[in-house]
Chains A and B, each alone.
Chain A
Amino acid sequence: MPAKLPSRMRTCRGDAAGRSQESEVPCRSGLLRKLADRNCLEVPPPNGTLGCWATDAGAAGGLSAPESKGSVVPTSCPGPPFLLPPLRASWNPCPWHYLHLSGSYDALAPTCFKTKFHRRRGSPTPDMASAMTDRTSRAGNTYTYTSRPRALPCQRRRYRDSFLQAEEEPVHYGNIMYDRRVIRGNTYALQTGQLAGQPDPLELQRRQQAKRRALARKRAQEQLRPRTPEPVEGRKHVDVQTELYLEEIADRVIEVDMECQTDAFLDRPATPLFIPAKTGKDVNTQILEGELFDFDLEVKPMLEVLVGKTIEQSLLEVMEEEELANLQAMQHAYEEIRNIELAEVQRLEEQERRHREEKERRKHQQWEIVNKHNETSQKIAARAFAQRYLADLLPSVFSSLRDSGYFYDPIERDIEIGFLPWLMNEVEKTMEYCMVGRTVLDMLIREVVERRLNMYENKDKHQSLKPEDMYGGPGTMRDPTVGYDFQEQSLSHTQRPLLDRDDPQRMSYGDPSQERKYMDEGELLGQSEETAIRKSTGKDEL
């Protein structure tokens, strides 16, 4: 109700101003005071935050919440910091405190922490203003304002908090619906009540008149009052103190300089426990044993459940462990058996392998033996056959060789080798003797003939046919001259390229050249020819 509001405000103001914040002793005067109490408890500073006054306004209808609840809110400020947000959220009945802030107003949220830091009064921050501007500008640039519309934050903090960063706190805005400054109701019949301190002009006038009258009255009365007589001449009235203790009277008031300094920004101490004084009538009652319930009877089902559950749980655990132990034991047993079986398998494998290898070896040996056996029998057979085959090889070979004349009769051979050459030699020798004889004879004849020729030439020197005859002569008489100057002629004969004429003669000369040792003995021409023919036949034979 509007009428109530100002009066309540006034009383509240008066109360707030009149008392310090520590004393929360509630004044006792009915419902109003109760509300006032709550106001005082949550007393905002005189600079007028609006927060929970509105709460009380809204909850005036008898939110007889226990005082402890109310005390929570102020204590929530310095309380355990990390409990603070949830506590505030859960306990504070103020609907503002979940006005904060659906996500769309994120832009607004941080700014209000800044406001808490920067200012005590809720004046718009540029950010907020700009945010608002943005929103409104989006709506349409139709309005201009001297002061832009804005939402007012509620100032709850007054002490510097070192626990929390101010930015982290959610901003609490004041709800316009619960704002006391907003005038509700009809405005044409408003009580234009003055603010405190500003007097009504009518009242002013009356007071002035009253003052004048009082003054006049006082003047009048003073004139009538008996005064002390004037002092006698030469004397002066002096005031004298007549009390027991003299007092020094001086114009100057004794001034003493006292200084007072508030501590710089002390944190608000924890609110002391509010233990309300006892009210109401004291009544006591005594519950004797056995009156309410029988403990033993009642506790039985609970105990049963508790004990049963505990035992069940422990049984389960024990059984699990037992099962695990059993599994482990089984696993070990299985491992053993597995190892044993594996070893057995490997042993059998090894055995198999050895046996197999042994068998292989023996088979191999047998095979070798058989092979050898076969080979030897084959060899024997072959040998027998070969022997038989070659048995008459030897005689046949010999006979064929003998037939083809490869075997010589030793006597014959001996005769051929030994005797005949000697014979031939002898024959040759003899022939050479003959030849030599003949040669000598020829030489003799030649000498004679030459001499006769010389004699004839000397007689007949102009005939030129003599040198040719000389050639023919010496040619035909070569044989006799051979023995004479044998070596020179043989050389010159061999050197001369007269093969066609000289072949048989050459051969005959060849023979003498071979048998130089027979040269001295000399041989006949016919003998030498004979030997030549023999030699040639001998060569053919050989």
Chain B
Amino acid sequence: MAEARISMYLPPDINPTKAAIAYGCRALPKLNEELQSEVLTTRQKALMALCDLMHDPEYVYQAIDIGCLDSLKALLKDINDLVRIKATEVLCIMATHNVGRDGFLEHGIIPALSYLLDDANSICRENLHKAYKHLAQLPSGAQGIVSSGLIPSLVWKLQKEQGAVQELILDTLAYCLQEDATEALGSRVVPFLKQLLLSASDTIRAKAACTLMAVSIPLQGKNQVWEYGVIPILVHLLKDDMDEVQANAAGALTYAAVTTEGKYAALEAEAIDPLLDLLCSPVNKVRLNATKALTMLAEAPEGRRDLQSQVHIFRTLQEETTEVSTRRAAQIAIKVIEWKP
């Protein structure tokens, strides 16, 4: 039987670090008020409670509706570390939802977050970059990031940061550069990426190759890639162990070899043999990119000559593969190799 005494202890499922969440539709307005309070502990507790609530998209929508984003923007400038960390975490969780991303773009969160790029606390910066990465996966989000002029600072930060944060920045840049790469090209992104291509970590190499692929889509990027001599490094990466790295390197080579100079640079760096090896790889993405790269190289007369002896590989690829895209790519490759002027 339960005792009729009132215990001196608090119930076991109350977390003293979280604010109490009001019932029903009062939850978020109350939390919003608490976010604006002057007392530090109130703010911190409200932020922790908000973190939990933001996993639900309905709450996200309601939060943006009542203007939580403005209070969060004010909190980003707070002196206390925990407040900033939690605020960035909340924003990061909100960015995983589409409603949240749209809210970001409307309320101008991007410039507010950019003040924290130089923050001393590393967790804060990590959350910040996670938020940016989620935002950049949306085309309008990437456009927003580009138009707010953040790309040069991100490229600069790419050099400064280490580890996980670097990977996040690389991802963000890869998406943003697919939208508009002119600013990045102006801020010397290609030399940085060239350094990163030789880094020790697998994921960083893979992501750097992916970003390089995005960089070399516009013509200026292709020219810069050729000028800075990245093509030999890419050819070297084709022999790397990781599939992801190989695939991305092949993709980057594909784009870089569209221009004539790129083609000849690749041919000089003897890209054909590694690419032919990659055609036998089990991963579809690798085969696809390798096929495309060889197609590019076959446009040049020397490449065509070298590849004419290897046409049978393409034929087998075309017949065996299950993926539609690979089959088409192989077909196109055969057509290009056998073209007579």
A515 at the interface (CB under 8 A from B): no
Partner of B8, one of A80, A344, A349, A350: A80
The reply to whether B325 and A337 contact each other, CB–CB distance below 8 Å, is: yes
Cα A72 to Cα B8 in complex, Å, equals 12
Say whether A136 faces chain B, with CB atoms less than 8 Å apart: no
Which of A46-105 touch B at CB < 8 Å? 66, 68, 72, 80
A342 at the interface (CB under 8 A from B): yes
Q: Give the B-binding residues of A (Cβ under 8 A).
A: 66, 68, 72, 80, 332, 336-337, 339-340, 342-344, 346-347, 349-351, 354
Give the distance in Å from the alpha carbon of A162 to the alpha carbon of B42 in the complex: 24
Residues A339 and B251 in contact in the complex (CB < 8 Å), given A347-B258, A350-B259: yes
What are 23 A-B contacts defined by CB distance under 8 Å? A66-B4, A68-B5, A72-B6, A336-B289, A336-B325, A339-B213, A339-B251, A339-B289, A340-B288, A340-B292, A340-B329, A342-B217, A342-B255, A343-B251, A343-B258, A343-B292, A343-B296, A344-B292, A344-B295, A344-B329, A346-B255, A346-B258, A350-B299
B293 to chain A, nearest CB (A): 8
List residues of chain B with CB within 8 A of the CB of A66. Answer: 4
In the complex, are the beta carbons of A347 and B295 less than 8 A apart?
A: yes
Q: Which residue of B lies closest to A355 (CB)?
A: B341
The reply to whether A350 and B258 contact each other, CB–CB distance below 8 Å, is yes
Cβ of B332 within 8 Å of any chain A Cβ, yes or no, is yes
* A79: nearest chain-B partner, CB-CB: B8
- Main secondary structure, interface of A, reads helix
B285 contacts the other chain (Cβ, under 8 Å)? yes
Query: Cα distance A490–B5 when bound, in Å?
Result: 170
Given contact pairs A344-B295, A346-B217, a sample of 4 additional A-B residue pairs in the complex whose CB atoms are under 8 Å apart: A340-B289, A343-B296, A347-B258, A347-B296
Closest to A72 in B: B6
Beta-carbon nearest neighbor of B295 in chain A:
A347
Name the A residues within 8 Å of B260 (CB-CB): 354
Question: Most chain-B CB neighbours within 10 Å: which of A66, A80, A332, A350?
Answer: A350
In the complex, are the beta carbons of A347 and B299 less than 8 A apart?
yes
B32 within 8 A of A: no
Closest 7 CB pairs of A and B: A343-B254, A346-B258, A350-B258, A343-B292, A337-B325, A336-B285, A340-B292
Known A347-B258, A347-B295, A350-B259; judge A336-B332 contact (CB<8 A). Answer: no
User: Using Cβ atoms and an 8 Å threshold, which residues of chain A touch B217?
Assistant: 342, 346
Which residues of the partner chain A approach B8 to less than 8 Å between Cβ atoms?
80
Q: Bound complex: CA of A429 vs CA of B310, how far in Å? A: 114
Which residues on A sit within 8 Å (CB–CB) of B5?
68
With A340-B292, A343-B292 as contacts: A351 and B299 at CB distance below 8 Å = yes
B306 to A: closest C-beta gap in Å = 18
Q: How far is the CA of A115 from the CA of B299 in the complex (A)?
A: 98
CA distance A337 to B329 in the complex (A): 10
